[in-house]
Structure 1
């Protein structure tokens, strides 16, 4: 059995530290879209919590959105300030992770986080676990507790 990727190990330790109760699953192929993740996990696409990092005047803002939604940037920017999709270097600098594997937490420094309340509709929510092929299960309430996220309608 190959060794666990260091980014997953780091995430696992932070999940434990925050009292997370979910399971980490490493899928055979990376799941760069909510649809691919949902297919691999056998769940609805809406139960996938996409971690989308944005640049707001050179400060990071993380949106945890349902895989069933597209972000209305104008609407969200009314609350967060101006948003520009972050490039790979910005993502790596602020999360320590790569695009496609950004977890809701386990970043080098706290990142202001907002969560799509639509995710509340699902008993189990799946989010990235620090690597493009790794996800973890949680509940909406547990995810909010672990991230300190503020609810924000994103559509």
Structure 2
């Protein structure tokens, strides 16, 4: 036969020992702080040289910066043209091809008159548009503060050729 008082004894013994352990930890058991001895800090012995503050430059020294345009990539003023409408238009140009290699990036255009024109990245078209970036499929152009991107035309086969 089992003794009915035995499990209660062990349970109460565990509860009492846990309570004593919690009380000991709460009172600081194991929390002894070990302080290291104070170290003597000696000041570095170096000669202190006084620093001199230079006077700021005159405002006239910044005049060149004020005269530059803020919005053009090449930091030059907008070109003045007699026929402003013609220089802004890309209507006379069509993008026919792009040549991309590690050493060269060129965009191939055809003018309204049928003349072929190849322009490298960073160069300018005759109408004033600058080629900013050339990728395998697109050409990014800029004129003054206007940006435009041209893509190669995607040629599709006629439905009769697919059969």
TM-score under structure 2 normalisation? 0.21
TM-score under structure 1 normalisation? 0.22
Structure having the higher Rg: 2
Higher RCO (CA-CA < 8 Å; seq separation 6+): 1
Structure having the larger proportion of residues in helix: 1
